[in-house]
Chain A
Amino acid sequence: MLKEYIGLKSEKVLNRVEGREVKKFVEAIGDPHPLFHDEKTGEESIYQANIAPPTFPAVFDYGEIDGLRLPDTGLIHGEQSFHYNRPLVVGDEILCYTEVEDYYERKGASGLMGFLILRRFGEDSIGQTVFSSKAIVIITETVREEMIVR
């Protein structure tokens, strides 16, 4: 049933890299380097602005894929990757969307495990990709059965 979502994309959602959010994020990952939040350090840096750390896209809104509702709990994050063409800079306006790249099932210790591959993309205002990411989400048989019941 999740197979039918393969290839589907969300609408694009505009996200702004806000200095305040970057500061909160780097404090939460214990990486409060001035390049991330001190304006003067940013201006004097090679970027001429503050930048965001590589896992910052975790905060972005990627829109929704029609009909795809994943449960809030019970999912296992198996793998995560990011690819950057340049770092994110405070003030960037990024259009984000997500796509179901693949879904397959494999026999595991606790039954038939589902593997959902989600790709996410961030583009600048002229349509150039700034970053992309890939998440492998593992859905156990128990959680999948609950999804069907709903």
Chain B
Amino acid sequence: MMIADLEIGKSLPEIRLAPVSRIDLIKYAGASGDYNPIHTIDEEAKKSGLPGVIAHGMWTMGNLSKLFTPLYEQGFIEDYQIRFKDMVFLNDILTLKAVLSDRDNHRYFFKTAALNQNGKEVIKGDIIFLQYA
């Protein structure tokens, strides 16, 4: 897909993730160095008042940016801003979305979010994609 062909109001192809698994979070802990046990060990999550382990916010944010990966020959993410709105639990099924809201010459402004199986936004924010001249 060519970014220049994307019209304002149109979306990048959505991605639906497989249900969140404990191994996903263990792998992210290992890759990122974030070993906070509320992301991997139920007892520790419960001690913090949670019903069970929750995903690292940065795991979800990391997943969301893959909507743009096929476009990196055309430009790159200049700004990526996210608000963590709700928790992500094991077996949640997330859908990743990005819609083009505006364009200024080589800058493409996207509204982006990850929604859970109940349609609730768990993270949301803005991405500016800067196209190479």
Residues of A in contact with B (beta carbons under 8 Å apart)? 21, 24-25, 27-31, 33, 35-36, 45-46, 51, 53-55, 58-59, 72-74, 76-87
Contacts and interface: CB of A to CB of B under 8 A. Distances in A.
A35 B38 CA distance: 32
Interface of B: 17, 24, 27-28, 30-34, 36-38, 44, 48, 57-59, 61-63, 65-66, 69-70, 72-73, 76-84, 125, 132
A78 B83 contact: yes
Given A80-B82, A82-B79, A73 B37 contact: yes
Contacts of A78: 83-84
6 contacts: A29-B59, A31-B65, A31-B69, A53-B65, A58-B32, A87-B72
B66 A30 contact: yes
A28 B79 contact: no
Contacts of B81: 79-82
Contact of B69 (A28, A53, A72, A86): A53
B102 to A, nearest CB: 18
A55 B62 contact: yes
Closest 10 interchain pairs by CB? A29-B62, A28-B31, A81-B81, A31-B66, A55-B62, A28-B27, A28-B28, A77-B57, A25-B31, A24-B31
Contact of B78 (A36, A72, A73, A83): A83
Contact of A73 (B28, B38, B65): B38
A106 to B, nearest CB: 16
B84 A84 contact: no
Contacts of A83: 78-79
Nearest to B59: A29
Contact of B31 (A27, A36, A54): A27
A79 B69 contact: no
